[in-house]
């Protein structure tokens, strides 16, 4: 099925299934039922079966899915074994925190696929300093960096007021995917992908129910 025909919500669930499978100790003869996946992933089991069937994965009646094989299949569907290089734009509080978090995940799990390869800011006092061995460069140096290495994902942790211009610039330089932490809606061309994340939004939503 073509990527752009797969609904976001399905991908979100597949990513969650892969995560729950990764958490299991399993040998080549171990199976997992859709009910168990459903329980761990917080979806209903009919949904699990439907999602997996979309990609040709059918469980064995009364037994379930072979854990290792299903894990490999999900990794293949999600191309989850490809290393993805990340550039962080905006090395303030949150940018620094994310960099530390991603770097320590990578140290803890060597096959962690996300690797920070670039740090960008416009604050002169930061430029030229090093964080976890990576130099902070001026955002305007992005084109030169992209001559030597590919950056798959731009993490946007700049102030809201400049988020759009940073993304517009990064798109013009060739970056095609963004994880946005700025509280603004980014306008991007149709072929550019933006994922939005905001701890405050999560907290606001949670707080409503408390």
Here's the x/- map for a copy of itself, 102-141, by CB under 8 A: it reads as: x-xx-------xx---------------------------
- The reply to whether 1 sits near a copy of itself by the rule CB under 8 A is no
Segment interacting with a copy of itself, rule: CB under 8 A, options 52-60, 122-130, 137-145, 194-202? 194-202
Per CB under 8 A, the list member of 30, 141, 165, 202 interacting with a copy of itself is 202
Q: Which of 66, 154 has the CB closer to a copy of itself?
A: 154
- The reply to whether 156 sits near a copy of itself by the rule CB under 8 A is no
- The reply to whether 18 sits near a copy of itself by the rule CB under 8 A is yes
- The reply to whether 150 sits near a copy of itself by the rule CB under 8 A is no
- The reply to whether 203 sits near a copy of itself by the rule CB under 8 A is yes
- The reply to whether 53 sits near a copy of itself by the rule CB under 8 A is no
What is the C-alpha separation between 94 and 159, in angstroms, rounded? 10
Q: What angle do CA 50, 52, 57 make, to 5 degrees?
A: 120
Per CB under 8 A, the list member of 30, 46, 76, 100 interacting with a copy of itself is 100
Query: Which string of DSSP letters, residue by residue, matches the chain?
Result: --GGGS-HHHHHHHHHHHHHHHTS---TT-EE-HHHHHHHHTS-HHHHHHHHHHTT--PBTTTBEEHHHHHHHHHHHHTTTS-EEEEEE--SHHHHHHHHHHHHHHHHSTT--EEEEEEEE--TTTTT-EETTEEEEEGGGHHHHHHHS---EEEE-S-HHHHHHHHHHHHHHT--EEEE-SSSPPP--TT-EEEE--HHHHHHHHHHT-
For a copy of itself, the binding residues (CB under 8 A) are 3-4, 6, 8, 11-12, 14-16, 18-20, 23, 39-42, 78-80, 82, 84, 86, 93-94, 96-98, 100-102, 104-105, 113-114, 152-153, 160, 176-179, 183-185, 193, 195, 197, 199-210
């Amino acid at each position: 099925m073509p990527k752009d025909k797969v609904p976001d919500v399905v991908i979100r669930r597949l990513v969650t299934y892969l995560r729950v499978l990764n958490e299991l100790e399993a040998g080549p003869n171990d199976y997992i039922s859709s009910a168990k996946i459903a329980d761990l992933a917080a979806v209903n089991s009919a949904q699990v079966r439907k999602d997996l069937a979309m990609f040709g994965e059918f469980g064995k009646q009364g037994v379930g899915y072979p854990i290792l094989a299903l894990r490999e299949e999900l990794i293949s569907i999600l191309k989850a074994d490809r290393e993805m290089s990340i550039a962080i734009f905006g090395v303030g509080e949150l940018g620094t925190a994310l960099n530390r978090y991603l770097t320590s995940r990578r140290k803890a799990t060597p096959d962690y696929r996300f690797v920070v390869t670039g740090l960008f800011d416009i604050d002169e006092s930061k430029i030229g300093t090093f964080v976890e061995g990576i130099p902070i460069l001026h955002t305007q140096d992005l084109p030169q960096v992209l001559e030597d290495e590919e950056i798959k994902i731009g993490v946007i942790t700049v102030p809201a007021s400049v988020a759009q211009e940073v993304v517009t610039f990064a798109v013009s330089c060739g970056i095609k995917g963004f994880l946005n932490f700025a509280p603004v809606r980014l306008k991007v061309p149709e072929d550019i992908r933006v994922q939005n994340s905001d701890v405050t939004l999560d907290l606001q939503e949670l707080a409503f129910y408390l």
